[in-house]
Amino acid sequence: MKNFILLISLIIVTSCATKEQSSQGDINLEMAQKFLDNIILQPEIAKSLLHDEFTFSWMGIIEQGGKIWNKDNLFNEYFKTIIPEILPNGIVLNTIDSISDKNGVAIIQEGDAEGKNGEYDNKYVWIFKMKDGLIFSVREYNSDILVATKLYDYRLVPSE
């Protein structure tokens, strides 16, 4: 009987812990999606979701790739001057999949835009890390080749 009660207690504790992690994952996913939905048109909403020690980086290997942006210069420089220059008509991002837990979120999106050098329909993976109930870091992954050719002035040449 003691073993049965111990087993039931263990199942209840495990179930509650899993539900708590799932609930925090849902909250984190909602926060990450809200950030992405507001980074361009309502930056103050997006900025309010960020930890004071927040960092952002596009993980490409050209131009702005690998540069670490903070809570202020991400909105005052990156999204205010750099992005409008390379995406003059903006971009529509559609979430196609996501996964989340108590520590972070991954969101997969497809973009629809016209870059300064032609059609730019990239695919994105955004990796969010959370800390103290806020977004602590975001890393953006997408096709460097598409960024280089459609947003910047790189030309592909065959190797000889």
pLDDT, tens digit (0-9, with 9 covering 90-100), for 83-100: 898 889 989 999 999 999
pLDDT of residue 16: 45
Domains of the chain are 2-151 (3.10.450.50)
pLDDT of residue 160: 80
Task: Retrieve residue 71's tokens.
Answer: 């809570």
pLDDT of residue 49: 98
Whole-angstrom distance, CA of residue 57 vs CA of residue 76:
15
**pTM for the full predicted model:** 0.82
Task: Retrieve residue 136's tokens.
Answer: 């602590």
- Residue 24 — very low, low, confident or very high, per pLDDT cuts 50/70/90? very high
Whole-angstrom distance, CA of residue 12 vs CA of residue 4:
12
- Averaged pLDDT of the chain: 87
Higher pLDDT, 48 or 63: 48
Whole-angstrom distance, CA of residue 155 vs CA of residue 66:
21
